[in-house]
Amino acid sequence: MSRHINYIFSVCLFFIISLLVSCSKEPPEAVESPPVETLGLRDYASAKGKFIGNLMRDGMFENEQVNGGSTDKILRTEYNAIVLGNNMKMSNLLRNRPQDPFNIKITDINTGNIDKFVSYADKHQMRKRGHVMIWYKQIPSWLEAEAPNWTAQQVYDFSKSYILALSSYSAGKIDEWDVINEAIINNDFRRNTWYDIVSSQANDEGEVGFQSYFAHLFKWARQADTAAELFYNDYNIEPFGTSKNNFMRNLVKELKSTHAAPIDGVGLQGHFKIDQVTEQFVAKVGQTIDDLGVAGFTVNITELDIRICTGDNGNIQTQKDAYKRIVSTAFNRENCNTVLIWGSSDNDSWINTHYEGCGQATPHDENYKSKPAYFGIKEALIEL
């Protein structure tokens, strides 16, 4: 009997000791699951060797946390290329009259704008597009007042010294430049610009005409920066065979072949209406890219937005197809490596203030949420 009692006692003691030991052990640490990494458009583009970019507007340039940081988040997580809207235009880089406007120095230029842009882009590993060297609009007030009285040679001297100073400073910082912007209209050169005198009066070398002047712009840009890609940029030149498209293609080919201009590419701005972007229309855009590619040009989409206006048949669902069609058509060409969208969200788009009854032009809505258009771009990138 005592043996039986001892056995029961031993079993109970063993059970109690085991229970105490197990209670004294610390519970195993919970293993946290790694955070799910969300890929942005930039990741899909980079994987295919392409650049998908967007615009940094003035508000974002002045304050990265504008709109509660939503704009910054979209730019840095979705895009691997970037361009400034206004802050690298001449009106902002050369706001104050230089002591000698025909011998401009780097110190005359507001290089702080360039530095700020480059710093942001480099921080987020973005390709940097310079916009713009020479344009008929957004020039400093002093130039607007004085240029009508200049000779052709003075226009040449001013343009040369400005481009040499600007290109010298931005060399190694800016990857590509719009050297001249919107210089033609319909099937002719744009007239009544601040540089118009070059078309009718010879410079000191006896050169007269827009072609000679434009060719020199590219030569000066290349002289100071041998690495940056140099572009002619314009709107309504996208579909093959229109009068403006024909004039543009003939012009850039002539600049390259006849005038030996070191022009690397053409920027098709791409400001479209939703009902415009049919399969036939986009096919003609592809034809333009192909034609210029045969002549050795890179062709990028530089200011893409697709607006929806009151009375249009299209909507945000068909906008998805339109964006996908454009991006796919462009990127399926070897001579197109970049598509830049003109606005990070619908409340940050120029369309709202320039086209009455129109809006919804970008891939993100006014609340910074992805629209169907965003997923159209994503699909185009994945399917490359």
Cβ atoms within 10 A of the Cβ of 375, count?
Answer: 14
Q: Could you tell me the CA-to-CA distances from 239 to 97, 182, 340 in Å, in that order?
A: 40, 16, 18
Beta partners for residue 307, in sequence order: 273
CB 171 within 8 A of CB 228: yes
Residues 6+ apart with CB under 8 A from 103: 157, 161
150: left (phi over 0), alpha (psi -120 to 50) or beta: beta
Domains, the chain, ranges and CATH? 42-79+262-384 (3.20.20.80)
3-class DSSP state for residue 209?
coil
Q: Could you tell me the CA-to-CA distances from 163 to 1, 104, 171, 219, 325 in Å, in that order?
A: 110, 9, 11, 10, 37
Question: So what's the pLDDT on residue 37?
Answer: 62
The pLDDT tens digits of the residues spanning 308-317 come to 999 999 999 9
DSSP secondary structure, 120-159, as one string: HHHHTT-EEEEEEEEESSS--HHHHHHGGG--HHHHHHHH
The structure tokens listed for 164 are: 């040499």
Question: So what's the pLDDT on residue 34?
Answer: 54
Q: Cis before residue 11, ω within 30 degrees of 0?
A: no
Task: Classify the C-alpha dihedral 178-179-183-189 as positive or negative.
Answer: negative
CA angle at 145 for the pair 142 and 149, rounded to the nearest 5°? 120
State the amino acid at position 298 in one-letter form: T
Question: So what's the pLDDT on residue 302?
Answer: 98
Task: Classify the C-alpha dihedral 211-213-217-223 as positive or negative.
Answer: positive
All residue ranges of the chain with pLDDT < 50 are 1-25, 27-28, 30
Q: Could you tell me the CA-to-CA distances from 208 to 101, 124, 196, 224, 296 in Å, in that order?
A: 21, 44, 11, 24, 27
Distance separating alpha carbons of residues 279 and 40, to the nearest angstrom: 27
The structure tokens listed for 158 are: 């001013």
Question: So what's the pLDDT on residue 38?
Answer: 86
The pLDDT tens digits of the residues spanning 250-281 come to 999 999 999 999 999 999 999 999 999 999 99
The torsion angles phi and psi of 268, rounded to 5 degrees, stand at -90, 115
Tracing tokens 């704009």 back to the chain, one arrives at: 71
3-state SS of the chain: helix, strand, coil percent to 5?
Answer: 50, 15, 35
Secondary structure E strands in 136-275: 176-181, 184-185, 188-189, 229-234, 265-268, 271-273
Q: Could you tell me the CA-to-CA distances from 303 to 44, 105, 362 in Å, in that order?
A: 20, 30, 11
DSSP secondary structure, 62-130, as one string: H-TTGGGGHHHHHHHHH-SEEEESSTTSHHHHS-SPPSSTTS--GGGS-HHHHHHHHHHHHHTT-EEEE
